[in-house]
Amino acid sequence: MLQCTAFTALPPDEALKALGSMEGGPEDASDHLDDKQYVLCVLGEHDEKTEHAAHLWTAETEPSKGLWFLWTESEGGHRVCHRFVTLTMCAVRLHHIEEDYREWCGLYDDHPGPHSFHVRDPLRDAYHAQIRRDARRVYGSDTDDRDEQGDVPR
């Protein structure tokens, strides 16, 4: 499933207050927020009744809890309402037996839609494909330009 493409400006003062008051939050919340002027919804594509969600921080607690920025939009794409909320992280994991590693879902518990490891970000995929093509050009490679799905990018 493709990732939702909604994004919005993160209210800096509210975000700083939420991170600063979070148990297990970052030691320097303002530094953590420097590159987060805008946030992207990390959920899979969803209907307009489902809140968009951006992950801001995960505290090392048991169970793990994350600070999330949730928002809704009007039909014109303008943010209608928003909230900061601390939610328990999803405990589902995917075990890759051949490679011997586990991949944890990066979303909150009881999230709508599929787990994060089933959501594809097409922009990130295109960016990674471009990096691979550039590396092959620079360093020379006997492999072709096929991406992970076996398709040749255009």
Instruction: Note the pLDDT tens digit of each residue in 28-39.
Output: 988 999 989 999
The dihedral built from the CA positions of residue 15, 20, 24 and 27, taken in this order, carries a sign that is: positive
Residue 65: band (very low, low, confident or very high) from pLDDT cuts 50, 70, 90 = very high
Q: Give the global pTM.
A: 0.77
The sign of the torsion formed by the CA atoms of 34, 108, 8, 117 equals positive
